[in-house]
Chains A and B, each alone.
Chain A
Amino acid sequence: MEESTKNTSPNSSKPSITDDKYTWFFACDSADVPDNGGVCVKYNEDQIALFHFTRRGEWYATQNECPHRKQMALSRGMIGSQNDEPKVACPFHKKTFSLITGECLSGDECAITTYPVSVVNGKVYIGMPANNN
């Protein structure tokens, strides 16, 4: 079973848990996410890109929208690394963004929002900033 990989984790596997910082919502089963790839998760009206970087044994979540042309597409992008920084490349124009900081690595000013991910017993949770709900 995967262990929690990032930040604080919820204590149980209920659909949604709120701690000091985050509201953790249940996204999907870990098996629903392709190895070294991403899926798009619906959270209320928001779209979150969720990546299982199997090769690094890590999970990442970011906004699904690429800020360059405002396209809901990052979850369909290829992931990889640049000098060991994990990144995702937008399918449209191959702008790349750090999966950790959200910073655009292709030299543009735009950045994306990243979210913490927690995996407990094969269930994947994404943490939304608590006041954002």
Chain B
Amino acid sequence: MKIVVIGNGMVGFKFCEKLIAKAQPQQFDIVVFGEEIRPAYDRVHLSEFFSGKTADDLLMSPFNWYTDNNITLHLSDPVTNIDRAAKTVTSHKGITENYDVLVIATGSSAFVPPIPGVEKDGVFIYRTIEDLELMQAYAKKAKKGAVIGGGLLGLEAAKAMLDLGITDTTVIEFAPRLMPRQIDEAASNILTNKLETLGLKIATSKNTSQILGDTAITGMQFSDDTNIEVDMLVISAGIKPRDEVAKLCGLEVGLRGGIVVNEQLQTSDASIYAIGECALYNGMIYGLVAPGYDMANVVATNLTAPPPLQREDLEPSINNDFIVSSSSIVPPLGDQGASFIGFDMSTKLKLIGIDVASFGDPFIQNKDTRTIVFEDTMKGIYKRINITGDGKYLLGGILIGDAEAYNMLLQTSKNKIVLPPNAEDVILGSRGGESEAGAGVLSLPDDAIVCSCESVTKAGICTAVSESGCETIDAIKKCTKAGTGCGGCVPMVKDLMLHTMKAQGKYVRNVICEHFDYSRQELLDLVKMDQLKTYDEVLDTFGKGDGCEICKPLVASVLASLWNDMILAKGNATAQDSNDRFLANIQKGGSYSVVPRIPGGEITPEKLIVIGSVAKKYNLYTKITGGQRIDLFGAHLSDLPKIWEELIAAGFESGHAYGKSLRTVKSCVGSTWCRFGLHDSVSFAIQIEERYRGLRSPHKLKGGVSGCIRECAEAQSKDFGIIATEKGWNLYVCGNGGSKPQHALLLASDLDSATLIKYLDRMLMFYIKTADPLTRTATWLNKMEGGINYLRNVVVNDSLGIGEILEQEMQALVDSYKCEWKEAIENPEIRKRFSHFVNAPEEKDPTMKFEPMREQKKVTDWK
């Protein structure tokens, strides 16, 4: 059977993916026409294009996915004509293809309101990667931005403007509040406040009457006789279904656009389907990706699993002369087939870093219902739930600022789960009561849809765990596809997985991998007891099989933490993580970066000159890092020893930027220069950094020392942060920057330097000995029962009586420190490994390509 798909957007792609997954090999001949120059990409995350993702990163699947699956893909070639009688389509470039089944997935375009002046330069729509590229080019000369549309799409566009550096941006909404379709007024006020703190201006109840300017936009005139200056405008006010080609061939379309479809997504021509944002079901266009995916799934299911019965009245109403054999060609339909029955428009998303969610009926308010509202204008949190008059069932609600409970609430309302006696607990959490939060996931019925992007039920996930033996999130993703779309359900999937495993009587613990049936902490103790020194000894004694990329670096790190031997010594070199193996960080293209240690960020002019001349000699790109040192990028593998030879000769040593080990101790300039400084933060930072340099740990370690409470070293975002007080130092621990920022917590105050180092020795060694692999100190503390109070007891009050041992162990590591790069360049056996070709050691990798950028070089981007 030959299937032609018009449109290669997210939904069109998903249809192909579902069809391939369900079909027998060679069952279908699939031809896809796409209007854009690229294969389908992730439009939902379009704004990430401005925060660093490339167009390629956003692709749903690379081009060769289509060829690998025998799909003919015509790009930059929209279908311009459908001949329903002949069952052919013709494209813009003149390609004609016949079809047995036609699927229209043309999506939508931006709705542009008929405002005089919309054609002026500087006015953009926000829809495709090309739109973004045009915006990017124009944004360089723009200062004052505006976005028409205060809905989901409009706020996404506003984020894009911020990402483009246009911080003076006004969001203009016709309705009296933001997101009028999803949230109520109070929620909208909270959202407005939050957006305003980010610098956006919000103007509601505004109707744009004219766009001002000669050829390019200079301002906007509103119907209330006000106006603003604007030199770049993005219109993101809604969508318009792309139904032109359907209309042209006489398919039924809605009054305000959209191709009319039935429950099977069939149009008025039974051989033609419409899915996604171009389809009008029950008078409604579904402008979200999840219902689009659902539609794709319905059509793919019905095409691949035809129910036995056919309904004759659904055969095509057009001239049948061309149909050879209707039974084999007309897609069979029946009562048992899948059908689309509308879609819950509940959404949860992060808008400019703010959680916004609405589910069920967010607005309902009448004599039979009750509403519970929690509002915290201080923190910018708003939660509303609507419940039945008897308090038993959840009907819908809104969450702003904190949407963690979204999945659970959505399931509770969808599945009519009886609410707890105090219904407010579901948004406020149980306060002192007996019921355990998180147990809720178990009360879901089996057919509750947990992953709505891929329509995976609770039973589907639990079965994957109990029957197919999926005991990791990755395994579940692979087996069920749950969590592979927006990813919002992953925490619930994990809960379900753990509960299912526990229910099966499995002792859930963090064993390392298939080769070691121990946790990291257990293995560390065993290795220490048996005094094992190499990876193979550890594997032979405590493991099985041949190891892998999970246990090798873990064991290598444990060995380094215990014995501090040169990590590339014979027997352990190939067990190191790939970066440790070459004592450098691999970068795009296969080159490496070099980071010499600059303790406390203090460096002499002479050393700066050495870094500069080495960088020039080896043609390296230089950049100041976040940790107050200098990173040299683009080094060929074979140049690394030569580069380090020169750096070491000038007094540098390894910065361990490649290792799970101490990176830097950042410092402010401190009392030696600063008029506010209380103590010499630089000297103390250098002392601390030199003490712990080369210390291998479960994850990287960062520190900071600030000379006063102004905290210029941002020490409270580090694994350990030290802040000067009038009487000494305050020690903060287990902070984190990165994707989940967390302030360090005060461990002890007003310490002298020696006591502080003692406490730090104990805390770091305790971390090394007890943390799970690849766990930063912040997560380690979050998981620790008793939290900071317990840690304080261990470290300060020595409640376990191990304080002295921890100090001794740390001192042994400090005393055995050697610069591993110095050892590497002095050892011919190790040095020999730094070449790209074993049989042509002098030759560099010819595939490595660089191109100029801002008077330096950059690596040519990967495909």
* Chain A interface (Cβ < 8 Å from any Cβ of B): 27-28, 32-37, 39-42, 47, 50, 53, 55-56, 65, 69-73, 76-84, 86-87, 89, 91-92, 94, 96, 107, 109
- In the bound complex, residues from chain B placing their C-beta under 8 Å from that of A37 are 573-574, 581
- The reply to whether B590 and A73 contact each other, CB–CB distance below 8 Å, is yes
Given contacts A27-B839, A28-B838, A73-B586, contact A80 B574 (CB under 8 A): no
A78 to B574, CA, bound (A): 7
Candidates B548, B571, B579, B862; contact of A80 at CB < 8 Å: B548
Given contacts A70-B863, A80-B546, A80-B547, contact A33 B578 (CB under 8 A): no
Nearest 8 interchain pairs by C-beta? A80-B548, A91-B578, A37-B574, A89-B549, A39-B838, A81-B546, A42-B837, A78-B549
- In the bound complex, residues from chain A placing their C-beta under 8 Å from that of B428 are none
A79 to B581, CA, bound (A): 13
- In the bound complex, residues from chain A placing their C-beta under 8 Å from that of B578 are 76-78, 91
Chain A nearest CB, measured from B499 CB (Å)? 24
Chain B nearest CB, measured from A117 CB (Å)? 13
Chain B nearest CB, measured from A104 CB (Å)? 12
CB nearest neighbor in B for A35:
B574
CB nearest neighbor in A for B478:
A107
- In the bound complex, residues from chain B placing their C-beta under 8 Å from that of A89 are 548-549
Q: Which of B89-111 contact A (CB under 8 A)?
A: none
A92 to B862, CA, bound (A): 12
Q: List 27 A-B contacts (CB under 8 A).
A: A27-B839, A28-B838, A28-B839, A32-B838, A34-B833, A35-B570, A35-B574, A36-B536, A37-B573, A37-B581, A41-B839, A47-B845, A69-B862, A71-B590, A72-B847, A72-B848, A73-B586, A77-B578, A78-B552, A79-B546, A80-B545, A80-B546, A81-B515, A83-B514, A84-B546, A86-B546, A107-B478
- The reply to whether B546 and A34 contact each other, CB–CB distance below 8 Å, is no
- Interface size on B, as a range, is 35 or more
Chain B nearest CB, measured from A13 CB (Å)? 15
- The reply to whether A91 and B579 contact each other, CB–CB distance below 8 Å, is yes
A89 to B548, CA, bound (A): 8
Given contacts A55-B546, A81-B547, contact A76 B839 (CB under 8 A): no
- In the bound complex, residues from chain B placing their C-beta under 8 Å from that of A35 are 570-571, 574
- In the bound complex, residues from chain B placing their C-beta under 8 Å from that of A91 are 578-579, 586
CB nearest neighbor in B for A67:
B64
- In the bound complex, residues from chain B placing their C-beta under 8 Å from that of A87 are 548
- Cβ of B843 within 8 Å of any chain A Cβ, yes or no, is yes
- In the bound complex, residues from chain B placing their C-beta under 8 Å from that of A27 are 838-839
Candidates B65, B478, B515; contact of A109 at CB < 8 Å: B65
- The reply to whether A96 and B549 contact each other, CB–CB distance below 8 Å, is yes
Chain A nearest CB, measured from B31 CB (Å)? 20
Chain B nearest CB, measured from A32 CB (Å)? 5
- The reply to whether A50 and B838 contact each other, CB–CB distance below 8 Å, is yes
Candidates A41, A71, A78; contact of B837 at CB < 8 Å: A41
- The reply to whether B549 and A94 contact each other, CB–CB distance below 8 Å, is yes
Chain B nearest CB, measured from A124 CB (Å)? 9
- Cβ of B743 within 8 Å of any chain A Cβ, yes or no, is no
Q: Which of B563-609 contact A (CB under 8 A)?
A: 570-571, 573-575, 577-579, 581-582, 586, 588-590
- In the bound complex, residues from chain B placing their C-beta under 8 Å from that of A39 are 838
- In the bound complex, residues from chain A placing their C-beta under 8 Å from that of B312 are none
A40 to B582, CA, bound (A): 14
A34 to B536, CA, bound (A): 14
- In the bound complex, residues from chain A placing their C-beta under 8 Å from that of B862 are 69-71
A41 to B836, CA, bound (A): 8
- In the bound complex, residues from chain A placing their C-beta under 8 Å from that of B546 are 53, 55-56, 79-81, 84, 86
- In the bound complex, residues from chain B placing their C-beta under 8 Å from that of A65 are 847
- The reply to whether A36 and B839 contact each other, CB–CB distance below 8 Å, is no
Chain A nearest CB, measured from B170 CB (Å)? 40
- In the bound complex, residues from chain A placing their C-beta under 8 Å from that of B553 are 78
Most buried by A among B515, B578, B839, B845: B839
- In the bound complex, residues from chain B placing their C-beta under 8 Å from that of A76 are 578, 581-582, 586
A73 to B588, CA, bound (A): 10
Most buried by A among B474, B589, B837, B845: B837
- Cβ of B840 within 8 Å of any chain A Cβ, yes or no, is yes
Chain B nearest CB, measured from A128 CB (Å)? 14
CB nearest neighbor in B for A81:
B546
- Cβ of B335 within 8 Å of any chain A Cβ, yes or no, is no
CB nearest neighbor in A for B571:
A35
- In the bound complex, residues from chain B placing their C-beta under 8 Å from that of A32 are 838
- Cβ of B68 within 8 Å of any chain A Cβ, yes or no, is yes
A71 to B571, CA, bound (A): 27
A55 to B548, CA, bound (A): 12
A40 to B577, CA, bound (A): 18
A94 to B578, CA, bound (A): 10
- The reply to whether A72 and B845 contact each other, CB–CB distance below 8 Å, is yes
A77 to B545, CA, bound (A): 18
- In the bound complex, residues from chain A placing their C-beta under 8 Å from that of B68 are 109
A91 to B578, CA, bound (A): 6
A50 to B578, CA, bound (A): 16
- In the bound complex, residues from chain B placing their C-beta under 8 Å from that of A50 are 838
CB nearest neighbor in B for A37:
B574
- The reply to whether B843 and A42 contact each other, CB–CB distance below 8 Å, is yes
- In the bound complex, residues from chain B placing their C-beta under 8 Å from that of A40 are 836-838
- In the bound complex, residues from chain A placing their C-beta under 8 Å from that of B848 are 72
Q: Which of B303-358 contact A (CB under 8 A)?
A: none
- In the bound complex, residues from chain B placing their C-beta under 8 Å from that of A78 are 548-549, 552-553, 574-575, 577-578
- In the bound complex, residues from chain B placing their C-beta under 8 Å from that of A80 are 515, 545-549, 551-552
A50 to B839, CA, bound (A): 11
- In the bound complex, residues from chain A placing their C-beta under 8 Å from that of B474 are 107
Most buried by B among A27, A42, A80, A92: A80
A77 to B515, CA, bound (A): 18
A76 to B638, CA, bound (A): 13
Candidates A41, A72, A94; contact of B838 at CB < 8 Å: A41
- The reply to whether B586 and A82 contact each other, CB–CB distance below 8 Å, is no
A73 to B575, CA, bound (A): 16
CB nearest neighbor in A for B56:
A69
Candidates B478, B547, B570, B590; contact of A72 at CB < 8 Å: B590
Known: A78-B553, A80-B549. 4 other contacts (CB 8 A): A40-B836, A69-B863, A80-B548, A86-B546
CB nearest neighbor in A for B582:
A76
Candidates B548, B573, B575, B586; contact of A92 at CB < 8 Å: B586
Given contacts A34-B574, A91-B586, contact A42 B847 (CB under 8 A): no
CB nearest neighbor in A for B546:
A81
0/1 per residue, B828-840, Cβ < 8 Å to A?
0000010011111
A39 to B839, CA, bound (A): 9
Most buried by A among B545, B546, B581, B836: B546
A87 to B590, CA, bound (A): 20
- The reply to whether A55 and B536 contact each other, CB–CB distance below 8 Å, is yes
Chain A nearest CB, measured from B841 CB (Å)? 10
A56 to B723, CA, bound (A): 53
A28 to B551, CA, bound (A): 29
Candidates A71, A72, A82; contact of B548 at CB < 8 Å: A82
A96 to B578, CA, bound (A): 13
A70 to B64, CA, bound (A): 13
- In the bound complex, residues from chain A placing their C-beta under 8 Å from that of B833 are 34
CB nearest neighbor in B for A56:
B546
A87 to B546, CA, bound (A): 10
- In the bound complex, residues from chain B placing their C-beta under 8 Å from that of A56 are 546
- In the bound complex, residues from chain B placing their C-beta under 8 Å from that of A86 are 546
A38 to B491, CA, bound (A): 38
CB nearest neighbor in B for A29:
B838
Chain B nearest CB, measured from A40 CB (Å)? 6
- In the bound complex, residues from chain A placing their C-beta under 8 Å from that of B839 are 27-28, 41-42
A96 to B536, CA, bound (A): 21
- The reply to whether A84 and B545 contact each other, CB–CB distance below 8 Å, is yes
CB nearest neighbor in B for A34:
B574
A89 to B571, CA, bound (A): 19
A109 to B586, CA, bound (A): 25
Given contacts A34-B573, A37-B573, A42-B839, contact A71 B589 (CB under 8 A): yes
